[in-house]
């Protein structure tokens, strides 16, 4: 075609271009636009678009060669510039489409991996929960067992001792007549059986224990103090022999100093003859 | 195809010049197909939102104006000038279309990015 055009217009071309036409700005812009497009990613991603732009630019160049700064040259150059720009736009569109697909793939991959991770963590959490449930069940059983034993102890103590909560602590009051024969400080056999239950309870209790011996008002005061001390010591020693921590148990003879009933009547005096086991506040590490 | 058209155009232009130089007259065919092509490209650009997209808007309007001018020139009987105007009009319409599609694709990238962020945050925030 070029040859044909050239041969057809040989004389005219020589006349028109021979005078030295100025390259029109449209053609300059078209060259710049194509140059930029051809050096970018369009060469790989949109060769068809780039090829179309190149053909139009070539036509513009031929027109310029043939006709110089003609309207046809300007129109073709104008068209070539648009086609180069369109080729670049199409390439940017393709890049954006690829980018979007990459983002969607990466997001899905992340969600899948996270889903698997979550499933594994969930399984682990369930396992941990099952372990905790077993532990809680065991603790519950232990607590119920302790409560049962405490209730049994209370039942055994009924008729033998009274339990009260006072400002100085929990006070277990044992009747002197149940523990000792008159004027004696050796524990009776039946008393030992009863004290075994008390000892079992106290072994599991972390509180400080004070054992107080009391008498009625009859007899010599000094004698009564010593008798009450011996009785308190006897109870202390027995409890220690049954496993109660000796460092937590102390014994004290009060004599007749702290009566709880009227010493004028036999019943009152019987009530005053007693041994009190006082459980103080729980110390650190107690159960 | 375009190469052929442009080649023929160049040939026709050259032939016209030659004939004109020879002092004879011949009719340049009415560019009815070119007009249909330009109008079709212009409609496609509009359907893709080129008339509203900032980057594409200018070329869409240029395409419209050149089609309108080409119709005026056609009525005046200057088929050749009309033909070249329609080539320009079609090129502007196709550029407007390409720019509108590019903008749409970039918008979708942004949407995918936003969605990815919200989804990954949702996954991270899922109670475990």
Q: What is the pLDDT of residues A150-176, one digit of tens each?
A: 666 666 676 677 777 778 888 888 888
Query: Which tokens belong to B81?
Result: 């000038």
As a whole number, mean pLDDT of residues B67-83 equals 96
Cα–Cα distance between B7 and A127 in angstroms, integer? 79
Cα–Cα distance between B128 and B121 in angstroms, integer? 14
The residues, any chain, with a CB within 8 Å of residue A22's CB and separated by 6 or more, are: A69
Any chain B CB within 8 A of the CB of A128? no
pLDDT of residue A146: 66
Which ipTM was obtained for this model? 0.78
Any chain A CB within 8 A of the CB of B34? no
Any chain B CB within 8 A of the CB of A3? no
- pLDDT of A265 > 90? The answer is no
From chain B, the residues in CB contact with A83 under 8 A are 91, 94-95
* Average pLDDT value over all residues in chain B: 83
Length of chain A measured in residues: 287
From chain B, the residues in CB contact with A55 under 8 A are 2-3, 6
Closest to B60 (Cα-Cα) out of B30, B92, B14: B92
pLDDT of residue A7: 43
Any chain B CB within 8 A of the CB of A108? no
pLDDT of residue B66: 98
Interface contacts (A, B; CB < 8 Å): 125
Please report the residues numbered 92 through 121 in chain B whose beta carbons come closer than 8 angstroms to any beta carbon of chain A.
92, 94-95, 97-99, 101-102, 104-106, 108-109, 112-113, 115-116, 119-120
The residues, any chain, with a CB within 8 Å of residue A276's CB and separated by 6 or more, are: A171, A172, A173, A174, A211, A212, A214
Query: Which tokens belong to A48?
Result: 């068809």
Q: What is the pLDDT of residues A106-159, one digit of tens each?
A: 988 888 888 888 788 888 888 888 888 888 888 888 888 767 766 666 666 766
Please answer whether residues A49 and A42 qualify as being in contact, where contact means their C-beta atoms are separated by less than 8 angstroms: yes
Nearest by CB to A97, from B6, B18, B105: name it.
B105
Coil vs helix vs strand at A209? strand
- pLDDT of A3 > 50? The answer is no
Burial B59-74 (b: 16+ CB within 10 A, else e): bbebbbebbebbeebb
From chain A, the residues in CB contact with B11 under 8 A are 1, 4-5
- pLDDT of B26 > 80? The answer is no
Highest mean pLDDT among A4-8, A16-20, A34-38, A202-206: A34-38
Any chain B CB within 8 A of the CB of A62? yes
The secondary structure of A136-187, three-state, reads HHHHHHHHHHHHHHHHHHHHHHCCCEEEEEECCEEEEEEEHHHHECCCCCCE
Residue A175, beta-bridge partner list: A274
pLDDT of residue A150: 60
Any chain A CB within 8 A of the CB of B87? yes
Mutating which of B55, B82, B109 best tests the A interface, going by the most A Cβ atoms within 10 A?
B109
Closest-CA distance, A129 to chain B, in angstroms, reads 13
Instruction: Using CA atoms of A256, A260, A264, A270 in order, give the dihedral in degrees to the nearest 10.
Output: -80
């Amino acid at each position: 075609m070029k040859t044909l055009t050239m041969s057809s217009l040989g004389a005219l071309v020589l006349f028109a271009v021979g005078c030295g036409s100025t390259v029109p700005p449209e053609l300059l812009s078209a060259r710049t636009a194509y140059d930029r497009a051809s050096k970018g990613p369009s060469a790989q991603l949109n060769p068809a678009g780039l090829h179309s732009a190149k053909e139009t630019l070539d036509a513009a160049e031929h027109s310029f060669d043939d006709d110089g700064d003609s309207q046809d040259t300007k129109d073709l150059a104008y068209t070539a510039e648009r086609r180069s720009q369109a080729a670049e736009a199409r390439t940017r569109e393709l890049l954006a489409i690829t980018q979007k697909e990459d983002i969607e793939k990466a997001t899905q991959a992340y969600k899948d991996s996270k889903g698997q991770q979550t499933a594994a963590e969930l399984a682990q959490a369930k396992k941990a929960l099952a372990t905790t449930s077993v532990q809680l069940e065991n603790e519950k059983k232990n607590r119920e067992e302790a409560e049962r034993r405490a209730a049994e102890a209370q039942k055994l103590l009924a008729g033998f001792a009274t339990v009260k909560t006072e400002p100085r602590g929990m006070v277990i009051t044992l009747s002197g007549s149940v523990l000792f024969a008159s004027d004696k400080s050796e524990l009776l056999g039946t008393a030992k059986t009863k004290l075994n239950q008390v000892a079992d309870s106290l072994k599991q209790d972390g509180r400080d224990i004070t054992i107080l011996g009391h008498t009625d008002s009859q007899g010599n005061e000094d004698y009564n103090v010593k008798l009450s001390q011996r009785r308190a010591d006897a109870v202390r020693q027995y409890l220690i022999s049954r496993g109660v921590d000796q460092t937590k148990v102390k014994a004290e003879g009060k004599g007749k100093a702290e009566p709880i009933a009227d010493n004028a009547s036999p019943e009152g005096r019987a009530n005053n003859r007693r041994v009190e086991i006082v459980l103080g506040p729980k110390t650190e590490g107690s159960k | 195809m375009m190469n052929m058209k442009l080649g023929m155009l160049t040939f026709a232009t050259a032939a016209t010049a030659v004939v004109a130089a020879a002092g004879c007259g011949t009719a340049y065919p009415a560019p009815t197909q070119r007009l249909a092509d330009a109008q079709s490209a212009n409609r496609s650009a509009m359907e893709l939102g080129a008339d509203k997209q900032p980057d594409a808007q200018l070329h869409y309007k240029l395409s419209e104006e050149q089609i309108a001018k080409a119709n005026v020139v056609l009525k005046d009987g200057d088929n050749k000038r009309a033909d070249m105007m329609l080539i320009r009009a079609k090129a502007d319409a196709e550029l407007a279309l390409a720019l509108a599609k590019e903008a749409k694709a970039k918008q979708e990238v942004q949407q995918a990015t936003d969605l990815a962020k919200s989804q990954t945050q949702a996954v991270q925030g899922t109670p475990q």
